[in-house]
Structure 1
Amino acid sequence: MSIALRIAHGAFGRVALLDMDRSLVRHAHPHCHVLLKVEGADTQFIVGNRVYPLTDNSAVLVDGWKPHSYLHDSVRPRTLILALYVEPRWLKEFRPGWAASGAPGFFEQPYGEVSPRIRKLAMTLAADMMACPESLTSHEETLSDLMIAVIERFTPWRSFPNSIREMNTSMCDWRIRRIAEVMRAQEGPFANVESFVKQAGMSRAHFFRLFESSIGVPPKVYLNVVRMEHALDAVLHQDITVSEISDRLGFLEAAHFTRFFRDHAGVGPREFRNVSRLAS
């Protein structure tokens, strides 16, 4: 079973040090997502529809809302992965155009060779998280240096207009944008996709096609992303039980919620909460 060794969270987003030995389902994040190998076996991720290696010398780079999954080879040993989920609003503090990290096309490609500096910073961040999990200020400083190095190496950041996120939004069909807002605002049990098809007032096939072309992921994946973000917020910031979170999100049983959470995060909600509290 995969193990969360350390989890840090703050205005920057989340950083997880994960000892992985199981695959993750196809999912997405509203964040800039960077995956770096710390030690163990080489492994791989599927980004879009292609497989990309994660090795000592290569990183996997995932744009916001880009579908991806972790493909674990059960024959290989475990892999220790540093997973960065970085908030576009935090990156915007460095350069306005870096708010583009929440939009498609931020990374030139989903895979790239890491520089010695990126490798050193990743190893430093992982080691510091293990040795001093409560030192969030130090972690954020190292993460800042690491993300600057990653962006400068793997993105065409000099060409990003400050309004790239607004440009991306303007290309989204207004009906789909309205439905996506309704999905994000949901509280309590989540409605199924068919109810949103009716609200959009279009055929099912047209809704699915237009949603994916506008947002970048199918509606079912988008709903799961929203549901997972609600779950993470409750696990990290709210003093309620896992069973209460499960009920709030509309799962029939807490075991179903735990499996959903593990399939997306690598570990269950209780472990995720307990490990994250080491950093508080």
Structure 2
Amino acid sequence: MPVPAEDLPVTAAAADPSPPPGPVVTGRYDQPPGYGVNRPRGSDSWQFTFTLGGSGLLSQGAARARAGAGDLVVLAPGTAHRYTVAPGAGSRRFWWTHCRARPAWTAWLAPYAVSDGLYAVPSVPGVLHGRIDAAFFRMLADARGPAEDTPREDTPREPDPVAVAHGSPARELALCALEEVVLLAAGGPRTPVPAPDADARVRRAEELIAADPGAPHTVRSLAESVVLSPSRFAHLFTLRTGRSPMRALREARLRHAARLLEATDLTVERVAAASGFSSPCHFSRVFREHHGVPPGAYRAGEGR
């Protein structure tokens, strides 16, 4: 079912966060300076944008990507995002699609991950732009129904068209066209933009723990500090260090407590609190398990 562009909101409102994930919604925009979409609650669907001209800025959580001509940027659902015409750019012409991504696509996009949920495939070779453009136009035709032919290069084209593929045949045809876009953009013989170094992000988290082991760190707070989802952060941290983030935090707190016992006359209760333990009893039990003696005996010189 075709939907005119003027019937869709330009700037997302609280009651209209994004198109639903079921249908495939495709459009082509030519937007002037000042255009922007802000979705504080994120989107329920994946969003794919391919820039034809001008420049835009896109963000997913704390991560940022710039989109110029020939750049494909993909935003995963579930995280606050925003996109605008870049400051100083006259406009931004781009294709966009909202849909539920096929599982295989994330593996193709993985080398271009800027952060969890933000993928930026830069500088798609110019020789592929025509094929990508044609694939998007084919998505528009397929969204309207399989009976329509793919527009030829000499066919007049409606400016800023938008179409929604509801039925199963139309949706699958549109997804096949989008899959061609992703393969052409991400599968070409090019060097991907390096993703942020996983080791650097793990080291940053370790530095945060070491700097203040008594702080109320959690997997979520540490993950947010290095712009990762909690599950991805925990996986990377364990892979790189051989221990979970919470185990590393507990060991850092125990080292900090041991130094306080050796160098200060703070009570065991205050050492426990300064080292981030929830109660003196819990601290004494964990300390004894680790050092073989309780905190008071350790202070007296036992177990060192």
TM range (shorter): 0.3 to 0.5
**TM-score, with normalisation over the residues of structure 2?**
0.38
Structure with greater contact order relative to length (CA < 8 Å, sep ≥ 6): 1
Larger Rg: 2
More helix by proportion, 1 or 2? 1
